Structure 1
Amino acid sequence: MRKSIIASILASSILMAGISSGQGIPRRQKDPIPASVETVYTKGLRYLANTQNDDGSWSGTYGNYPGVVGLCVLAFLAHGEDANHGPYADNIRKGLDFLLKQQKESNGYIGNSMYNHGFATLALAESYGMVEDKRLAPALKNAVKLILTAQENNPKGGWRYTPESNDADSTVAGCQLVALLAARNAGVPVPDASIEKGLKYMASCRGSNGAYGYTSRGGGKPTLTAIGSLCYSLSKNKDAKGFQESLEYLKKQMDYRDKYYPYYFEYYMSQALFHADEEVWKAWNEKNVRYLSTIQAADGSFPGNKGQTFSTAGALLSLALNYRFLPIYEK
């Protein structure tokens, strides 16, 4: 039986005691899953399961990057897979084992970039309440601490490629904010000031039309706007200045496909629209399901210049709002 994931993350021994006392498992809404979604998703999961390496990573372009491994773990969990006894339990555990072994003991850093660290942290956060592994709690606590420390040392209040970066951009900053918001949503104490500072940086990249640029208000793009909009939704700031302008901008991009990062766009666009306006998401989702159904290979993978592993995980996660098992998908 598929199970959703307990939104529980450890930040201290007191919090751990509270979580261990037991929490109810949230159930997804009883909306029927379209057969076309289930077909695409199950084929994609079989591909990821069949191509995983023994060490938990994947071969090919970016397959051994912690961020990509984290997205693959999320793809399994987002389908409601049982991480302890289900058919993909071994895949989930091997993926998490890989992430845990990549974390530096000295500072909690996972991988060699904040992209990798952010997505890996999100995977740990969404896994903690479901997977029985004593290593997850301290690893997650240290991963969150590194994100907060990196922001404290960043004069812009954001994040970029490394924990020591003095500049910032909306993609890396958005990735860290989502990880922090997932942690806070699940119970980890994340200072309001840290979220507010991160959102302030994101706002500095938003133009008057609601579109977000990379490092400034200029050059707004749909993918960046989806990231920024999602951060405001998850932080419960949909009444903030500029949010509606961003939604209106995204509503004009319903047929957009990012030429360079198509699955990165779809991953964020699906979440941004779902949290901002579910009716708009439904319209976009129908188009996305049809599109992905036509480009999925016979083996369940998806093509892309960033490697089949990343492409497949990103494509599946863009469909995951149909299931709504992950805590990060809760409104």
Structure 2
Amino acid sequence: MKLLRLFLATLIVSPAIAQELPRRPDDPIPPQLETVYERGLAYLAKNQNEHGAWNDQMGGEPGVVGLCVIAFLAHGEDPNHGPYARHIQKGIDYILSRQRESNGYIGSSMYNHGFATLALAEAYGAVDDSKIAPALKKAVDLILSAQNRNSAGAWRYTPDSRDADTTVTGCQLVALFGARNAGLPVPDEAIKKGLAYMSRCRGGDGAYGYTSAGGGKQTLTAIGVTCLALAKEKDGKGFQTSLAYLKENLNYRERHYPYYYEYYMSQALFHADEEAFEEWNAKNLKYLSTIQRPDGSWPGNKGESFNTSSSLLSLALNYRFLPIYEK
């Protein structure tokens, strides 16, 4: 199994960057982590419906379907011939079915569009499906055109929004980084404008607010740190201040969107600080393994597909099979 996943890692990475991504074949995967992850994937596979989505609260949203697809790929599953290949393809097919032919918009919100675009980017070059490439290009073009229409140079709920917030903006930036990793052209100016908006929402203590520098939150700060790290802008004072803010609150638990927080916090620390990530990772695995249900899902009021995929992706940094999860 380990050899298979190492082989698959070379397939999942875009050919243009495959030689540049360091792999860590000697790093052991804790047995507890593997058990937790495999149980979660088994739950997602068992409960996927015939259309490729899930029947719980948010399981029909293409963005959530995208997170589920990424959760399979992030474990090194063979997307074409492996035991979960059918589930991955059904998820991709569902995302493609929700994309508008007229403008490339996926779903009914930019949240959905961003996460669905990221899924297409991570699947591109790995899943044997000729429909992914043109769909991904149209999805990226929609993100860029929405930014050009936005007075803040960022994003909010719809492609026509004139205001912005850090959660939606962070989602689009990560999708653009994923597309760039896949080999699609993404203008540097688009990244710079998005990051500039994010920096305007960062307070003096390093915490990011929702639509301004006030009211900083841990989850929003994790999003901001993730975006800066993916942009390779980790030397600035703002990044270091925000990282310090996160490290001071490693025991924090988000009440309203816990798994959304887990998803971004793991990425932020993984890219920013190895020692802090190791501490967080151990605590996160213990926490998530404790609350995982017997059927492999995670509880909460957002629906099992979102809860489970987000939980798994907060652990997926341990596998490092996808470009977006590489340093």
Match of 2:24 among 29, 32, 41: 29
CA distance 1:25–1:277, change in 2 (3 Å)? closer
Q: Distance in 2 between matches of 1:192 and 1:283?
A: 34
Q: Which residue of 1 aligns with 2:179?
A: 183
Q: How does 1:149-164 map to 2 (within 5 A)?
A: 149-164=145-160
Match of 1:110 among 93, 106, 109: 106
Q: Which residue of 2 aligns with 1:50?
A: 46
State the shift of 1:185 in Å. Answer: 2.4
Q: Which residue of 2 aligns with 1:197?
A: 193
The answer for unaligned runs of 5 or more in structure 2 is: none
State the shift of 1:7 in Å. Answer: 3.3
Which deviates more, 103-112 or 177-186?
177-186
State the shift of 1:239 in Å. Answer: 1.4
Corresponding position: 1:262 with 2:254:
no
Q: Which residue of 1 aligns with 2:12?
A: 6
Contact 1:28/1:323 (8 A) holds in 2? no
Match of 1:231 among 227, 230, 242: 227
What is the identity, as a one-letter code, of the residue corresponding to 2:24? Q
Match of 1:285 among 281, 286, 293: 281
RMSD in angstroms over aligned alpha carbons? 1.4
Contact 1:182/1:328 (8 A) holds in 2? yes
Match of 2:57 among 56, 61, 69: 61
Which digits, 9 at most, give the CA deviation of each residue in 1:233-292, with x for residues without a partner?
001111134000000000011111100000000000000000001111000000000001
| Structure 2 length-normalised TM | 0.95
Instruction: Flag as ranges the 4+ runs of structure 1 deviating above 4 A.
Output: 22-27
Corresponding position: 1:215 with 2:211:
yes
Contact 1:115/1:175 (8 A) holds in 2? yes
State the shift of 1:188 in Å. Answer: 1.1
Match of 2:295 among 290, 299, 305: 299
Q: Which residue of 1 aligns with 2:304?
A: 308
Q: Which residue of 1 aligns with 2:241?
A: 245
Match of 2:120 among 121, 124, 132: 124
Structure 2 counterpart SS, 1:242: helix
Q: Distance in 2 between matches of 1:237 and 1:27?
A: 20
State the shift of 1:25 in Å. Answer: 9.8
Q: Distance in 1 between matches of 2:18 and 2:310?
A: 30
Structure 1 counterpart SS, 2:229: helix
Contact 1:65/1:116 (8 A) holds in 2? yes
Q: Distance in 2 between matches of 1:294 and 1:94?
A: 30
State the shift of 1:330 in Å. Answer: 1.2
Contact 1:251/1:280 (8 A) holds in 2? yes
Q: How many residue pairs end up in the alignment?
A: 320
Q: Which residue of 1 aligns with 2:168?
A: 172
Which digits, 9 at most, give the CA deviation of each residue in 1:308-331, with x for residues without a partner?
110000100000011011110111
Q: Which residue of 2 aligns with 1:14?
A: none
CA distance 1:130–1:27, change in 2 (3 Å)? farther
Contact 1:159/1:176 (8 A) holds in 2? yes
Q: How does 1:67-82 map to 2 (within 5 A)?
A: 67-82=63-78
Which deviates more, 171-180 or 26-35?
26-35
Q: Distance in 2 between matches of 1:178 and 1:286?
A: 25
State the shift of 1:182 in Å. Answer: 1.4
Q: Distance in 2 between matches of 1:104 and 1:193?
A: 26
Structure 1 counterpart SS, 2:321: coil
Q: Which residue of 1 aligns with 2:316?
A: 320
Q: Distance in 1 between matches of 2:271 and 2:80?
A: 30
Contact 2:70/2:119 (8 A) holds in 1? yes
Q: Distance in 2 between matches of 1:289 and 1:38?
A: 10
Q: Distance in 1 between matches of 2:248 and 2:104?
A: 40
Structure 1 counterpart SS, 2:156: coil
What is the identity, as a one-letter code, of the residue corresponding to 1:250? L
Q: Distance in 2 between matches of 1:117 and 1:320?
A: 22
What is the identity, as a one-letter code, of the residue corresponding to 2:126? M
CA distance 1:94–1:24, change in 2 (3 Å)? farther
Which deviates more, 240-249 or 113-122?
240-249
